[in-house]
Structure 1
Amino acid sequence: MMPQLPPFECEVVRVHDGDGPLWCRSGEKVRVAGIQAPDFEDAAPCRRPAARRTAYTCNDVAARRSQQIVSRLTLGRRLICQPTGRSYSRIVARCTLPDGRSLSCAAIAAGAAVRWDRYWREYGMGECR
């Protein structure tokens, strides 16, 4: 876990899939904390034969649906994101939508992702309302 960093604003300009990365206008790439969404079949974990999948397999149809849901929630909007760690070249963050909802909880509620218990606890995600 990274040292406590201040929250930052992310105006979302691109969404890869339901758990990120989300590209911010300022250049940051954000991995949404505590959730797992379907991966596109050409994603790096899908290319690794021994990849351990926890909730989803690689499925382009499900990944596209998840991407569309999260895009509707975030594209063009300003999120407030609290960094919790790093994953590859991305900042892992708990992000809040402009209406005050947790992006992680909103993605779960909309069917774009599932809670990834190990990281949910590690990142102190709390309860969804």
Structure 2
Amino acid sequence: MIDLPPAFVCEVVKVHDGDGPLWCRNGVKVRVAGIQAPDYESAQPCRIGRANYVCDNRRAAASQRVTQRLTLNKRLTCQPVDRSYRRIVARCILPDGRSLSCAILAAGAATRWDSYWRRYRMGECR
């Protein structure tokens, strides 16, 4: 059994990718539960190859911008559901009461990661 902290408030000060981590003012790093966004790491194979070959990180950047718009400098209420690396995986609620995972999905910035969606009992998006 994983020892998880209680629900907490995350004032977001930095966003790495469309699904996190989100850096909270208090130092906690949050991975958004149940979704998978394009990320800069997935572009890694294109870094290996040919001269004059440039990675296309436009999808990752667009996803990151959506999550920044939704979260940056806002206070989210987050319920931890797991740990991943040195991050807390959490279901977070935006100040307007919407699920952050659902808002990112609705904006087209990520896809639902079904196995984790079920594991974390994410429910339905409205």
TM-score with structure 2 setting the length: 0.87
Aligned residues: 117
Letter in 1 for 2:90: A
Task: Give the aligned partner of residue 125 of structure 2.
Answer: 128
Corresponding residue number in structure 1 for 2:75: 78
Q: Distance in 1 between matches of 2:10 and 2:79?
A: 10
Among 65, 72, 77, the alignment partner of 2:62 is 65
Matched residues in 2 for 1:5 and 1:82: separation?
Answer: 9
Q: Which has the larger radius of gyration?
A: 2
Contact in 1 for aligned 2:43/2:57 (Cα 8 Å) = no
In structure 2, what residue type is equivalent to 1:35?
A: I
Counterpart of 1:52 in structure 2 is none
Alignment partner of 1:108: what SS?
Answer: helix
Deviation at 1:4, TM superposition (A): 5.7
Indicate whether 1:98 and 2:95 are aligned.
yes
Percent identity, aligned pairs only, is 68
Moved segments of 4+, more than 2 Å: 1-5, 45-48
- 1:38·1:66 contact (CA, 8 Å) conserved in 2? yes
Q: What do the CA deviations read for 1:60-103 (whole angstroms, capped 9, x no partner)?
A: 10000000001000000000000000111100000000000000
- 1:69 & 1:14 partners in 2: Cα distance? 13
| Alignment gaps of 5+ in structure 1 | 49-57
User: Structure 2 unaligned runs (5+)?
Assistant: 46-54
TM-score by length of 1: 0.85
2:32 is aligned with what amino acid? V
| Separation in 1, partners of 2:56, 2:123 | 29
> Superposition RMSD on alpha carbons, in Å?
1.7
